[in-house]
Amino acid sequence: MIHNLTLVHLLLALAAGGCIYLSLREVRRRYISTWRLFAPAFMALFVGCVLSLLQLAEHQPAWMFGTALGVGFAIGAIRGMTIGIEHDMYRPRVNLSHAAKLLLLWVAIVVGGTVVVECVGAFFDRPELDLVRFAAALVAMACAGAMLGRALLLTIRLHRADRGSA
């Protein structure tokens, strides 16, 4: 333990790094498999859940984290419904503009930023940083929900397009 940084913070940093890396890989690909849609979302969900558990240990209200996850999921689901899907001779393909592809990467970078805020807050352990750490946990849950909602709706739409009913 260095100051107040623990193994949990190392796991958070690894998960956030994995989320950013997998999001970058998804942005670069034309065809996206189901596991590639869900992998960064589950990494972000891990980060959000751990950050919220750290805040629950500080006696923060649990309903706020569920609300942030639900709002993020709704935003991600709406985004997943608006993404265009093309079908070529091989399989369904997600049709995204460059700016839309970068949005996923920016959401993953925000998840990484929440981990940085948590680590800095834990390192300095000042009471005035508690509100910032709480807000970072809420943002992480909202981003995780958005990535999960997007992945779920895209998976449903891709499977329907593959069967020819889209």
pLDDT tens digits, one per residue of 63-84: 999 999 999 999 999 998 888 7
Residue-level pLDDT at 78:
94
The structure's pTM equals 0.90
Residue-level pLDDT at 90:
67
Instruction: Measure the CA–CA gap between 34 and 114, rounded to whole angstroms.
Output: 26
* Residue of 122, 152, 150, 147 lying closest to 134 (CA atoms): 122
- Considering the chain, what percentage of its residues have pLDDT values greater than 70? 92
Instruction: Measure the CA–CA gap between 92 and 70, rounded to whole angstroms.
Output: 28
User: What value does the mean pLDDT take over residues 50-59?
Assistant: 95
User: What value does the mean pLDDT take over residues 91-120?
Assistant: 87
pLDDT band at 54; cut points 50, 70, 90: very high
Q: What residue segments make up the domains of the chain, in order of their start? A: 7-161
Decide which of 152 and 96 is more confident: 152
